[in-house]
């Protein structure tokens, strides 16, 4: 599955220290390839929205199964 970093996600990732950004990138890549990762969905999230835990950060993303694309919307510290 490919991944696409949309504008808010790109800005959030660029503002992080490079070591944290690299760790988040690695976790998202692993999730895209294998589906492995510490992810969850909140009750108010729609059916395609996921939140991936990476240390103290959360990555909010959507999964488009038909296009086989993950879209990263936000990266924030929990």
| 75 DSSP β-pair partners | 59
Residue 45 three-state SS: coil
**Which residue from 3, 6, 47 is spatially nearest to 27, judged by alpha carbons?**
3
The CA-atom distances, in angstroms, between 20 and each of 12, 32, 33, 48 are 12, 18, 20, 25
What pTM was computed for the model?
Answer: 0.83
Instruction: Please tell me the distance from the alpha carbon of residue 30 to that of residue 71, in angstroms, as a whole number.
Output: 14
The model's pLDDT over 31-61, given as tens digits with 9 standing for 90+, comes to 988 999 999 999 988 888 999 999 999 999 9
* Token reading at 71: 């879209």
């Amino acid at each position: 599955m490919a991944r696409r970093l949309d504008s808010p996600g790109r800005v959030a990732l660029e503002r992080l220290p490079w070591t944290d950004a690299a760790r988040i990138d690695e976790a998202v890549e692993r999730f895209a390839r294998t589906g492995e990762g510490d992810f969850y969905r909140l009750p108010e999230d729609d059916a395609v929205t996921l939140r991936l835990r990476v240390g103290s950060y959360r990555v909010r993303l959507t999964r488009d199964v038909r296009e086989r694309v993950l879209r990263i919307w936000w990266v924030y510290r929990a």
